[in-house]
Structure 1
């Protein structure tokens, strides 16, 4: 039974999963940006085929 003056219990497992999910998303974004930076570097060097491959 939930009383009006009490907040529903939020399990620590759920809040931990949310943190892990945000961490994984941030890690994935960093990995994507690293690939984009490498592709830009390859493009500057005139290696267009390698740059296109890096973006795949």
Structure 2
């Protein structure tokens, strides 16, 4: 019984890790980084350069 529970826990961890990798790859294909929801320094610089180009 203990082995079965360990296998379920390991499968859940691997499944969640795979899902997170899938989401990161999907976002990167759209041109977004993992931190696009935050107002980071890189995002500020990018927005500033886009405003200058216009």
TM-score bucket (shorter structure): 0.5 to 0.7
Specify which structure has the higher proportion of helix.
Answer: 2
| Structure 2 unaligned regions, length at least 5 | 37-54
Cα root mean square deviation, aligned = 1.6
Q: State the number of aligned residues.
A: 36
TM-score scaled to structure 2, two decimals? 0.60
Unpaired runs of at least 5, structure 1: 1-15, 52-56
User: Which aligned segments of 4 or more residues in structure 1 are displaced greater than 6 angstroms?
Assistant: none
Higher CA-based Rg:
1
Higher RCO (Cα < 8 Å, 6 or more apart): 1
TM-score when normalising by structure 1:
0.58
